[in-house]
Amino acid sequence: NAGVMQNPRHLVRRRGQEARLRCSPMKGHSHVYWYRQLPEEGLKFMVYLQKENIIDESGMPKERFSAEFPKEGPSILRIQQVVRGDSAAYFCASSPPGGEQFFGPGTRLTVL
């Protein structure tokens, strides 16, 4: 049973470009979570999704950030018009209903 998959593992973008981060949950998991971790800081919750629904987006910045988890395919975290402050590690986690969260290896975004 493959774990949580994230790609790309490393992503470099110039200011103003778009970043798309993908997350495929573990088999059988219907819940996906996105977290951001700035260097030397803790994990910050961004958004919690179930298939085709956003359950909690209280941690998402109001502008430029969006997330989806379509019926088919991976969950996508999209960052439009990236700025240097978006440089961070973005972790995705998945869980079954009511279960523990398992994390993917993360995507390290660098904005030049």
Partner 1 sequence: RKEVEQDPGPFNVPEGATVAFNCTYSNSASQSFFWYRQDCRKEPKLLMSVYSSGNEDGRFTAQLNRASQYISLLIRDSKLSDSATYLCVVNPLGYGQNFVFGPGTRLSVLP
User: Which residues in this chain contact partner 1 in the complex, by CB under 8 A?
Assistant: 31, 33, 35, 41-43, 45, 48, 55-56, 58, 89, 91, 95, 97-98, 100-106
19 or 34: whose CB is closer to partner 1? 34
- CA within 13 Å, CB half, 47: 20
| Six token digits for residue 80 | 């439009």
Nearer to partner 1, 43 or 76 (CB): 43
Radius of gyration of the chain measured on its C-alpha atoms: 13
Output the smallest distance, CB 79 to partner 1, in A: 19
Compute the least distance from the CB of residue 51 to partner 1, in Å. Answer: 14
Least distance between partner 1 and beta carbon 48 (Å) = 5
Nearer to partner 1, 76 or 89 (CB): 89
Check: CB of residue 79 under 8 Å from CB of residue 15: no
Q: Who contacts 60 (Cβ-Cβ below 8 Å, separation ≥6)?
A: 46, 47, 66, 67
- Shortest spacing between CB 100 and partner 1, in angstroms: 5
Q: Among residues 76 and 105, whose Cβ is nearest to partner 1?
A: 105
